[in-house]
C-alpha cells in the first residue's frame, strides 16, 4: 500500500517555554523535525511527507525533499486535529484516498526504524489502523487539588499512546471532521477514530520514542540521537 507521512508542526510549543517552537530545537546537531522526517522517509513504503506549519513560521528550512522523497508543506490550524486535517486535504491529487497515513509528532525525533516497520505491517493488516505505544509502568495515583492522594488506580490495561499513528486516509479524515464538528478536543488521531467507532491496535514500541516536551527531554533526545549517529 502507498504510505504517506503527515507531520503536524503548527503548534506553538508553549509548554516548553522559550521562543523557538520545539520541533526546531537541535539534538545531535539537527532540528528535531529533521530527525523525525528522515526516519519516516527512510522507510521503503513511505512515498512522501506532508508537514503542517504555522502560517507565520519563519524557521521552516524549506526542504522540498529528504531521503530522495518529496517533502511538502501546508498551513496548519488552531488545534492539532485541524493541522492534521489540513495536511490530509493538501496531499497530492494522486495520493490514493485509501492510502495509509502515518501521523507523527514533529518533536518526536527518536523513532526506531524497526518500530515503524512493525507499525506499518500492523496497520496494513488491520482495517481500523494501529498506533505505537507502551504499557504504563509506574503506579498511578489520583490526587485532589491539594496534591493529597485519594486513590491508587489500577494500571492493568493502560497504555501510553505514542506516534506514529497509522490509519487509512479517508477514514481518518472523516473521523477528524466528526470530532471537530462535535467540539471535542482530540489529543491524538486514535481518539478521533475511537469516537468514530473504530478499534485501532496498539503496537508495543520502544520507550525511548520520546516526545520532547521539557528541557530534560531535550537532553535525553540529544544523548540518544548522538549515540545513534555514531
Ligand atoms: O503540544 P503537543 O506536544 O501535543 O503537540 C504535538 C504536535 O502537534 C506538535 O508537533 C505540534 O506542532 C502539533 N500541533 C499542530 N497544530 C496545532 C497544535 C499542535 O500541528 N494547532
Evaluate whether residue 137 is within a structural domain: no
CA of 80 from ligand 1 middle (Å) equals: 5
Residue 121: give the domain boundaries: 3-131+160-229
Q: Is the CB of 31 under 6 A from ligand 1?
A: no
Element housing 152 (H / E): strand 149-153
Task: Give the number of domains in the chain.
Answer: 1
Q: Is the CB of 86 under 6 A from ligand 1?
A: no
Evaluate whether residue 155 is within a structural domain: no
CA of 151 from ligand 1 middle (Å) equals: 31
What pLDDT, in 10s, does the model give residues 152-172?
A: 999 999 999 999 999 999 999
The CA distances from residue 102 to 46, 84, 156, 216, in Å, are 9, 11, 28, 27
Q: Which residues of 48-74 are buried (b: 16+ CB within 10 A; e: fewer)?
A: bbbbbbbeebeebeeeeebeebebbbb
Evaluate whether residue 118 is within a structural domain: yes
Evaluate whether residue 203 is within a structural domain: yes
Q: Is the CB of 105 under 6 A from ligand 1?
A: yes
Q: Percentage of the chain surpassing pLDDT 90?
A: 93
Q: Which residues of 2-17 are buried (b: 16+ CB within 10 A; e: fewer)?
A: ebbbbbbbbbebeebe
Looking at residue 192, which CATH number applies to its domain?
3.90.550.10
Query: How high is the pLDDT of residue 17?
Result: 64
Q: Atom 4, ligand 1: which residue's CA is nearest? A: 187
pTM of the model: 0.96
Evaluate whether residue 145 is within a structural domain: no
Identify the residue with better confidence: 5 or 229.
5
Q: 14 Cβ partners below 8 Å, 6+ apart?
A: none
CA of 15 from ligand 1 middle (Å) equals: 11
Q: Is the CB of 164 under 6 A from ligand 1?
A: no
Work out the pLDDT band at 1, boundaries 50, 70, 90. confident
CA of 162 from ligand 1 middle (Å) equals: 13
CA of 106 from ligand 1 middle (Å) equals: 8
Amino acid at each position: 500500500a502507498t504510505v504517506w507521512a503527515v507531520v503536524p508542526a503548527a503548534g506553538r510549543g508553549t509548554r516548553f517555554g522559550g521562543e523557538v517552537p520545539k520541533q526546531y530545537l537541535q539534538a545531535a546537531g539537527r532540528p528535531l523535525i529533521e530527525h523525525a522526517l528522515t526516519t519516516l522517509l527512510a522507510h521503503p513504503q513511505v512515498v512522501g511527507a506532508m508537514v503542517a506549519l504555522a502560517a507565520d513560521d519563519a524557521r521552516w528550512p524549506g526542504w522540498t525533499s529528504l531521503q530522495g522523497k518529496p517533502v511538502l508543506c501546508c498551513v496548519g490550524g488552531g488545534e492539532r486535529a485541524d493541522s492534521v486535517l489540513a495536511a490530509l486535504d493538501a496531499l497530492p491529487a494522486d495520493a490514493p484516498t485509501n492510502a495509509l497515513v502515518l501521523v507523527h509528532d514533529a518533536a518526536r525525533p527518536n523513532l526506531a526504524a524497526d518500530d515503524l516497520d512493525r507499525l506499518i505491517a500492523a496497520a496494513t493488516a488491520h482495517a481500523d489502523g494501529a498506533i505505537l505505544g507502551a504499557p504504563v509502568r509506574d503506579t498511578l495515583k489520583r490526587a485532589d487539588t491539594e496534591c493529597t492522594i485519594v486513590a491508587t488506580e489500577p494500571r492493568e490495561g493502560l497504555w501510553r499512546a505514542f506516534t506514529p499513528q497509522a490509519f487509512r486516509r479517508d477514514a481518518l479524515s472523516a473521523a477528524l471532521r466528526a470530532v471537530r464538528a462535535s467540539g471535542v478536543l482530540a489529543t491524538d488521531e486514535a481518539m478521533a477514530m475511537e469516537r468514530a467507532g473504530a478499534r485501532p491496535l496498539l503496537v508495543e514500541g520502544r520507550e525511548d520514542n520520546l516526545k520532547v516536551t521539557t528541557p530534560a527531554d531535550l537532553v535525553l533526545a540529544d544523548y540518544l540521537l548522538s549515540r545513534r549517529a555514531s
